[in-house]
Every structure is written in structure tokens, then in C-alpha cells.
Amino acid sequence: MFEGYWASIAIFLGINVLMGFSLYIPMTAGLISLGQGGFMAIGAYSSSMLTKAGMPFWIAVATAGMVTALSGILVGIPAIRIRGVYLIILTLGFGEIVRVFFLNFNYTGGAGGLGGMLPYTNLAWVGSACVAAALVAWRLRYVRLGRAMIAVHADEVAAEAMGVDLVRVKLTAFSLGAFIAGIAGAFFAHYALFIDSAQFGFLRSADAFLFVVLGGIGNPLGPVAGAAVATLVPEVFRFLQDWRMTFFGALLVASALWRPDGLISAMRLKYR
């Protein structure tokens, strides 16, 4: 049923859904990032180096996720004092730094890129990771940490006054998002089988941002819907040939005008 062309679209869709969740979770706490591509790069490069050294795939993926989560904490530390537009541009700068780093870091291939990974990624891996990420994003709304994140998003000062540990909540949100982006990167590397730094530039980060905002913030279905639309529309309209990205751009403008708060409305919190 899922073979060839459709299987590859399904896998890329899955990776995009993961990227959507990687930004959705920090955004639950009001942390907007335009640097998710940088986290994806870290996951992709570190997992590739590990599997090339002979480590089993799933351990490499998990390790890459942990490494990326650590880097998420590093980026998150300056982010504690900064919010809104400052944070967006700061993370954008982080993404660029990561890109330029891998462009010049010869140990991982430098400007020539890194190839020679084995095709470990399959639909089952990506699918179960998506389901896991969706479950986490959904359950997050019902547990202490997730409620704290929503409170931080709504009003930082009030949340802190209520006893929410801002530093802990923000860092957790950021590194959890980074963890997912790292795993998405690992899957991407072992499916594309060739990675170079340009693949993880600003456009990749902007994509993750699009998935979430297009789909709608405040509902775990949002990033899924956003990623699905953004992945499938350019595929379905392949007959437009060279004009399909122009069409996609026009669609983005139109959807922002039509539903400025995203395709899927925010889920209402039930207080029990």
C-alpha cells in the first residue's frame, strides 16, 4: 500500500509532523523559536556519526535526541531573560550559527556534506515517533508541568507569583522541543542518506514555524494539520510544475488572512 513515492511522502510528512511538535511544545510555554532547523542539524549530524561508528540505530537516535536536548538547554539559558521578538531573533541567530558551524566543521564533512548513512529510517519508526510526540503534546495539557507551561504563556509574572519555577519550566519546554527536533533530524539523515548544512538553514526553521502557526497554536492537532497541509499541498499541486511554490506562498498568505489564528481552533482547557 505504501510504497515508493507515497512511502517517501509519508516519511517526510512524519518528519515534518515531528518538527511541528518540536516547536509546538516550547510555544505552549510562549517560547517562539525560529531556530528549530539548528536542533534538527545537531540531531542529524550526531546520529549519523554514531551509526557510522557502528552503533545500533535506535540507540543512536535516542542519543542524538539527548545531545540535542542538552544543546536546547544551552540555548534556553539566554532565553530565560528574553522573550517575544528578542527570543525569535536570538533563536534565528542560533540556527545560523549551527549552520555555519557544520559548514566549516571538517570532521563531519564540512561544506562537502556527510553521506554514507544506511537507510534505517522506515515508516514504522517515524510513525511511532509521531504518535509518541502527539501523546506527549496531548497529555501535557493535563499534567502539572504542562499546566505550568500554559500559565507561563498566559502571564509570566502571575505564574511566578503562583509558585511556578520559571527557569525550570522554560528550560524543560525548550529542551523537550529540541529533543523532538533532534530525533526528527536523525530520521531525516537516515532517510535522505546525505546531509549538508544548507538543508538545515533558515527555511527549515521557518517551515517548523509555519507548521505550528498554520495549524493553530493551542491544540495538539494543530502541528499535525499544519505539517500535512504544508507537505501535501506542494505534492498534490505538482502539476503546476514550476509555479507550485508560488502557489504555496499564495496559499500561506491566503490562510493567514482567512484564519489568522490557525486552521484548528485552540482546545479549551477543562478544569476538573
Residues that bind other proteins (CB under 8 A): 32, 78, 81-86, 88-90, 92-94, 96-97, 100-101, 103-104, 201-203, 206, 209-210, 213-214, 217, 242-243, 245-246, 248-253, 255-257, 260-261
C-beta of residue 37 within 8 angstroms of C-beta of residue 202: yes
CA 123 distance to own-chain centroid:
18
Question: Measured between alpha carbons, how far is 72 from 179 in angstroms, rounded to an integer?
Answer: 8
Q: Which is nearer to other proteins, 138 or 248 (CB)?
A: 248
Minimum CB–partner distance for residue 202 and other proteins (Å): 6
Q: Which is nearer to other proteins, 85 or 124 (CB)?
A: 85
Q: Which is nearer to other proteins, 128 or 265 (CB)?
A: 265
Question: Which residues, other chains included, contact 114 with Cβ-Cβ below 8 Å and sequence gap of 6+?
Answer: 45, 48, 108, 189, 194, 195, 196
Question: Measured between alpha carbons, how far is 126 from 66 in angstroms, rounded to an integer?
Answer: 17
Q: Which is nearer to other proteins, 134 or 263 (CB)?
A: 263
Minimum CB–partner distance for residue 157 and other proteins (Å): 9
SS (H, E, C) 123-189: HHHHHHHHHHHHHHHHHHHHCHHHHHHHHHHHCHHHHHHCCCCHHHHHHHHHHHHHHHHHHHHHHHH
Minimum CB–partner distance for residue 121 and other proteins (Å): 28
On the 0-12 / 13-18 / 19+ scale of CB atoms within 10 A, 62 is middle
Q: Which is nearer to other proteins, 14 or 201 (CB)?
A: 201
Minimum CB–partner distance for residue 209 and other proteins (Å): 7
Question: Measured between alpha carbons, how far is 142 from 270 in angstroms, rounded to an integer?
Answer: 9
C-beta of residue 221 within 8 angstroms of C-beta of residue 17: no
Minimum CB–partner distance for residue 95 and other proteins (Å): 9
C-beta of residue 35 within 8 angstroms of C-beta of residue 204: no
Question: Measured between alpha carbons, how far is 272 from 262 in angstroms, rounded to an integer?
Answer: 27
Minimum CB–partner distance for residue 237 and other proteins (Å): 13
Minimum CB–partner distance for residue 28 and other proteins (Å): 14
Q: Which is nearer to other proteins, 183 or 230 (CB)?
A: 230
Q: Which is nearer to other proteins, 203 or 236 (CB)?
A: 203
